[in-house]
């Protein structure tokens, strides 16, 4: 089931975020990620996948800058199409906020890189730290 998260889901969302094996949160990013999550809980939406009585994945956009802030699926629930189902919700939030394209960054050589390429995201460059920058048009009918 997909639903919008409430503040009560926040501890489990953090657990899922910390359970992943790739694109793990660096110690240096923790504070910034927390601040962004605070803002999104108040003004935006974390879209969560609930199964087996718990949140097993989430997708979230930052409507301030047109980015996908996070897409994380618990390792026990990967490969079932959950990311595929959740990502359009976050993209929809960006379109509703007036963006014509979504962007995100992800680690090179990861499952996520393969997932985004397979779903029509295009690489637009690399950051200094090697992260790939992806972009996808949000025109009607082409949201992933
Ligand atoms: C990358 C990540 C989000 C993918 O999540 P996922 O739920 O395993 O992805 P999905 O199952 O939707 O898609 C994976 C593949 O499984 C296939 N699949 C398996 N079962 C499926 C089903 N029942 N329905 C639809 N697709 C299914 C899909 O076709 C898909 O193939 P594709 O990538 O060629 O389209 C997840 O592995 C993850 O959280 N990784 C660690 C954190 C991370 O790197 N996040 C991204 C940071 S930007």
Q: Which of 1-10, 23-32, 41-50, 100-109 comes out lowest in average pLDDT?
A: 23-32
Residue 108 resides in a domain: no
- The C-alpha atoms of residue 110 and residue 43 are separated, in whole angstroms, by 30
Residue 137 falls within a domain, yes or no? no
Q: CATH number of the domain at 74, please.
A: 3.40.630.30
Q: Which domain holds residue 42?
A: 2-101
- The answer to whether position 13 is within a domain reads yes
Q: Kindly report the number of other CB atoms within 10 A of residue 122's CB atom.
A: 12
What confidence tens digit (pLDDT) does each residue in 101-139 have? 999 999 999 999 999 999 999 999 999 999 999 999 998
Question: What is the average pLDDT value for the chain, to the nearest integer?
Answer: 94
The answer to whether residue 27 scores a pLDDT higher than 90 is no
**Domain total of the chain:** 1
Residues within 6 Å of ligand 1 by CB: 20, 22-23, 71-73, 78-84, 104, 106, 110-112, 114-115, 118-119
In a domain, 87, yes or no: yes
96 is a domain residue: yes
- How many residues would you count in the chain? 144
Distance of alpha carbon 108 from alpha carbon 130, whole angstroms: 7
The H or E element containing residue 19 is: helix 10-19
- Residue nearest atom 22 in ligand 1 by C-alpha distance: 81
pLDDT confidence of residue 31: 85
């Amino acid at each position: 089931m997909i639903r919008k998260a409430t503040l009560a889901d926040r501890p489990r969302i953090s657990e899922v975020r910390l359970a992943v094996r790739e694109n793990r949160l660096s110690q240096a990013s923790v504070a910034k990620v927390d601040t962004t999550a605070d803002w999104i809980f108040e003004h935006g939406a974390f879209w969560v996948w609930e199964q087996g009585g718990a949140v097993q994945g989430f997708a979230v956009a930052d409507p301030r800058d047109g980015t996908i802030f996070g897409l994380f699926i618990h390792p026990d629930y990967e490969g079932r199409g959950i990311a595929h189902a959740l990502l359009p919700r976050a993209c929809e939030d960006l379109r509703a906020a007036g963006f014509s394209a979504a962007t995100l960054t992800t680690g090179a050589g990861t499952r996520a890189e393969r997932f985004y390429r397979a779903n029509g995201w295009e690489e637009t460059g690399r950051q200094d730290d090697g992260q790939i920058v992806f972009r996808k048009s949000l025109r009607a009918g082409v949201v992933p």
